[in-house]
Amino acid sequence: MSKTIGFVGLGNMGIPMAGRLMDAGHNLVVYDIRKESVAEFAARGATAATSPADVANKVDEVFISLPTPPIVEAVVLGPDGLINGTKAKTIIDLSTTGPRAASRIGDALHSKGKIWLDSPVSGGVGGAKAGTLAVMVSGPKSEYERLTDVLKIIGKLFYIGDKAGLAQTMKLVNNLLSGTAMALTSEAVAMGTKAGIDADVMIDVINSGSGRNTASMDKFPKCILTGKFDYGFATKLMYKDINLFIEEAEAMGLSLRTAAAVRQIWFETLQEIGDEDFTTIAKLAERRAGVTIRGKAAGK
């Protein structure tokens, strides 16, 4: 059965997720500060809203997909935020905000009789387009079960628990491992390249052995060996996620030295390479090793 759903945040991830909801037959009310993104959906039949509150005046459920915790808080709790809408009862957050921000926002919505579901996703733009994202959800289980059919359009569902923020913690755990794989695989392959091993052969061996990981299996073949560096996720967002992980760990009294070292490498990537696609962390390793990591697909 088709529904009318709100969607705020039409960026690299939001566009394909919102598009899948429309492709599945649902009607959308959309908002983004980029008018061109809203216009694209309006041309497909979506209703363009004038603010987050306007979205929440028109629908019962609103999905949000936004880049940083401060933006999420402004969109949900600000003067023109979703909390001030007259109709919306449930906000489903597909962003990565961290558990403390999620708990704070959830409490504010609860005080207004509204429901907050943390639903961060993992799998990149490709997964968003294909509907194969890992969708981690925490919040009232009855609400999760009510929205299961809609959430399944976005990806594979994992119910983490009823406490606000648990899904956010799960996402930070996942992204620390993802960011670590990118950082270490870049350094390892740069070393192997400097030693004289062919990059294509190196990645094939790694992926046939015990060293395989998401970077070697996905990011390197698609974006680094080809020289495209176009995975669709920004360096500053990966740094943000790893920094959030460490902040949460420190709040628990933990001191995680390996995670801190990984955060430092991502910080240095931002400083030396800039805020580009996060696969450009390999360029930092290349620069420091004095090599170029490319495969046959790049015409090396």
DSSP, residue by residue, 107-167: HHHHTTT-EEEE--EESHHHHHHHT-EEEEEES-HHHHHHTHHHHTTTEEEEEEESSTTHH
Neighbours of 262 (CB within 10 A): 24
**48 contacts 21 by C-beta, under 8 angstroms:** no
Helices (H), the chain: 14-23, 35-43, 52-56, 69-77, 99-110, 124-130, 141-146, 148-151, 166-195, 199-208, 214, 235-251, 257-272, 281-289
Does the pLDDT of residue 122 top 90, yes or no? yes
Residues with catalytic function:
171
pLDDT in tens, 21-31: 999 999 999 99
Per-residue pLDDT at 160: 98
Burial class (CB in 10 A: 0-12, 13-18, 19+), 254: exposed
Write down the pLDDT at residue 208.
98
Which pLDDT does position 187 carry in this prediction?
98
Residue with tokens 């908002």: 31
Q: How confident is the model at residue 298 (pLDDT cuts 50, 70, 90)?
A: confident
Ramachandran angles phi, psi of 182, nearest 5°: -65, -45
Cβ distance 4 to 59 under 8 Å?
Answer: yes
**pLDDT value at 168 more than 80:** yes
pLDDT tier for residue 123 given thresholds of 50, 70 and 90: very high
- Read off the pLDDT of residues 191-231 as tens digits, 9 standing for 90 and up: 999 999 999 999 999 999 999 999 999 999 999 999 999 99
Over range 82-107, report the average pLDDT: 96
The answer to whether residue 299 scores a pLDDT higher than 80 is: no
Asked whether residue 150 carries a pLDDT value surpassing 70, the answer given is: yes
Residue 133, pLDDT above cutoff 70: yes
Mean pLDDT of 128-133: 96
Query: Which pLDDT belongs to residue 188?
Result: 98
The CA R_g of the chain, rounded to the nearest whole Å, is: 20
Q: What is the pLDDT of residue 297?
A: 81
For range 115-131, the mean pLDDT = 95
- Read off the pLDDT of residues 43-55 as tens digits, 9 standing for 90 and up: 999 999 999 999 9
- Please report the domains of the chain, with CATH numbers, ordered by start residue: 4-163 (3.40.50.720), 169-298 (1.10.1040.10)
Beta bridge partners of 192: none
Confidence category of residue 300, pLDDT binned at 50, 70, 90 = low
For the entire predicted model, the pTM comes to: 0.92
State the DSSP code for 224.
I
